Amino acid sequence: MSLLTDTGAVFVRDTRSKLRTPWPYMESMADPLLLLMLFGPLVAALGGIPGIPAGNTMQWFVPGMLVLMVFTTSAFIGAGFQEERGSGALERMLVTPVNRFALLAGRVLRVVVVVVIQAAVVALATVPFGLRLPPIATPLALLQLAVLAAALGTVSLAVGLALKSSYAFWGVVSLVYTPIVVTSGALLPMELAPGWLFAISRVNPLAHAVEGQRALFAADVTSTAALLGFAVPLLFGLVGAVLGTQSMRRVRV
Amino acid sequence: MIHTTGLARRFHSGRQTVHAVRGVDIDVAPGEVVGLLGPNGAGKSTTLRMLTTLLAPTAGSATVAGYDIRTDPLAVRRRIGSIGQGNGSFDGLRTREELQAQGRFYGLDRHTARRRADELLQRLQLSGQADRDVAKLSGGQRRRLDVAMGLIHRPPLLFLDEPSAGLDPHSRSNLWEHVTGMRAEHGTTIVMTTHYLEEVDAAAQRVIIIDHGRIIAEGTPDQLKSKVSGDLVTVELADPGDRSAAATIAAGIPTAHEVAPGRDAVSFRVSHGDTVTPEIVRALDAAGIRLRGTQVQRPTLDDVFLSLTGRSLREDHG
Ligand SMILES: Nc1ncnc2c1ncn2[C@@H]1O[C@H](COP(=O)(O)OP(=O)(O)O)[C@@H](O)[C@H]1O
Ligand SMILES: [Mg+2]
């Protein structure tokens, strides 16, 4: 099956190059830990905010941090793809019979693997600070983060393909970055938001992921939030996959 | 190996339509080495991109290595190697990794990819660079890696787009040594473009001259040269005062044209410069004109292009 072996070959190549300079990944793991240390106490000190269950702030705060970490690791890989396209590297792959979808899938697989490792490390690192890891829900939470990473990575690649210039790519990123992070509810609960802002958060896949993660870390496996945390990113990723594959077929270097 | 009919490609940029390739008919036999020659923007890369399935033609058809580029691009890709205008390796990866990855993209299993990569690295004198980041390779080494990536699946047909652009003369001749060596060994068919006329001259058995997206001439380098200009004969005069008399004698030689008296020399074009030279020497001698020396220059491919278009190929080289 050429899709699988090709995806594997793309994955190996991509992983080798990225893991040789792992600093961005260290950084994106340090990010949530720093927020946890610096922002966590502030949230805890506020006390009694609607949306944050009283008592264990960690259990509420860490899931949001994990989602933000997934976001920084996977949402910008489209830029790297653009770089390969700008150099002759993509062209040299396109002259081979390699499966076009595998060129995307191998790269997405790489961020999925990275994200799962990162999330496991961060979650374990916060256990001493009071995070509980519910037995069945925790692996499910990791799986949900993997789905989110795949979705964000796919859409990022699709956007990177659609926009030929890296200026356009980073322009789009800086335009959507703040709204996406704020309305994800990772830092402060969206229950605090006025109606219009809450409405925006409903179309933000990150918001559903954050709520899904919180439900899972509360061991609430069968809740709607946990389900939407899977379904919304999945849908988002599928749209990205369709668009990405279409532009991959038409891609000119 | 290649057969195209009316192959064409236009681009739309804004409201403008660029006719990059305007219907070319190309036939390449197995084992041939064919050079595409033409100024910048002539449509050479666009032609290669269509033949290598990177770009769909807007008109015409082509079979490459036995398969239609439109209906069976995958079969074409399996049978061709292509070295594009830019470097195909990506900074951050190592030489062997990139080569092996390319083998995997061509469907080789891990073991075969590794073995062939090592063989090619050895052949192309890159073994010492196998574990270095490609960003650290010299221009010539990086280009040889590109060649290796195009050969990893042992294609019967190889496309090279400006393979030696930007290389110093030493790396250039080194690269060609390798390419021609591979060809001698495997009988690979080669289609290439280059800016360096001497390279086409030396390596190509047949030259296709392209201008404004059309083929304006084709043939062996010698055929092309003999068809158009003639040889450039220069007689250097001992006494500059003799130049008008010498020019008159030169103009009297059959087929002599473009007679140009210089400061202390007279040059003219004539077919078969080699046999004409003794003739003019005798005639000048008989007229009492003393010479310092003579030169015969075979026409270059640039002369060919000049005579076809009135423009020099070298003008837009930078
Ligand atoms: N993707 C493209 N979009 C628009 N115009 C293009 C594109 N690629 C090439 N062209 C134009 O087509 C013409 C031929 O280009 P090219 O085939 O690269 O020439 P060459 O390789 O002979 O220098 C040029 O005028 C070039 O600007
Ligand atoms: Mg070109």
Between chains, do B78 and A97 touch, taking CB under 8 Å as contact? Answer: yes
pLDDT of residue A149: 96
pLDDT of residue B318: 38
Between chains, do A89 and B88 touch, taking CB under 8 Å as contact? Answer: yes
- Distance from residue B154's CA to the centre of ligand 1 (Å): 29
Q: What is the pLDDT of residues A49-69, one digit of tens each?
A: 777 777 778 888 899 999 999
Pick the residue of B18, B104, B149 with the most A CBs within 10 A to test the interface with A by mutation.
B104
Report which secondary-structure segment, H or E, holds B64: strand B59-64
- Distance from residue B90's CA to the centre of ligand 2 (Å): 20
The ligand placed nearest to the CA atom of residue B21 is 1
Half-sphere exposure (Cβ direction) of A199: Cα atoms closer than 13 Å? 3
**Domain architecture of chain B: domains with CATH:** 2-221 (3.40.50.300), 231-298 (3.30.70.2470)
Tokens standing for residue A152: 């964000």
Query: Tokens 């072996």 appear where?
Result: A5
pLDDT exceeds 90 at position A156: yes
Who contacts A187 (Cβ-Cβ below 8 Å, separation ≥6)?
A35, A39, A64, A181
Mean pLDDT for all residues in chain B: 89
Q: Is the CB of B39 under 6 A from ligand 1?
A: no
Beta-bridge partner residues of B80: B157
Q: With contacts defined as CB-CB under 8 Å, which chain A residues touch B112? A: none
Q: Does the CB of B84 have a partner CB in chain A at under 8 Å? A: yes
Mean pLDDT for all residues in chain A: 89
pLDDT exceeds 60 at position B317: no
pLDDT exceeds 90 at position B262: no
Residue of B nearest to A95 (CA): B77
* Stronger pLDDT, A239 or B13, i.e. the higher one: A239
Q: Is the CB of B16 under 6 A from ligand 1?
A: no
Range with lowest mean pLDDT among A35-44, A73-82, A194-203: A35-44
Q: Output the pTM of the full model.
A: 0.86
* Average pLDDT score over residue span B134-150: 93
Q: How far is C-alpha B35 from the chain's CA centre?
A: 4
Q: How far is C-alpha A218 from the chain's CA centre?
A: 21
Closest atom of ligand 1 to CA, residue B48: 17
Mutation probe of ligand 1 site: the residue of B10, B17, B18, B24 with most atoms within 8 A of C-beta: B18
Tokens standing for residue A209: 């992921």
A1 pLDDT band, cuts 50/70/90, is: low
Residue nearest to atom 17 of ligand 1 (CA): B43
Q: With contacts defined as CB-CB under 8 Å, which chain B residues touch A97? A: 74, 77-78, 105-107
Q: Is the CB of B20 under 6 A from ligand 1?
A: yes
pLDDT exceeds 60 at position B75: yes
**Residue ranges of the domains in chain A?**
2-250
Closest atom of ligand 1 to CA, residue B12: 4
pLDDT of residue B316: 54
- Distance from residue B311's CA to the centre of ligand 1 (Å): 19
DSSP structure class, residue B54: S
Distance CA B209, CA B192 (A): 12
- Distance from residue B41's CA to the centre of ligand 1 (Å): 5
Q: Which of A106-120, B214-228, B260-274 has the highest mean pLDDT?
A: A106-120
Q: What is the pLDDT of residues B224-240, one digit of tens each?
A: 887 666 788 888 988 88
Range with lowest mean pLDDT among A119-123, B71-75, B112-116, B247-251: B247-251
pLDDT of residue B131: 94
Q: With contacts defined as CB-CB under 8 Å, which chain B residues touch A95? A: 52-54, 77, 80-82, 84
pLDDT exceeds 60 at position B26: yes
Tokens standing for residue A243: 């668009």
* Average pLDDT score over residue span A238-251: 86
Cα torsion through A234, A235, A240, A241, rounded to 10: 70
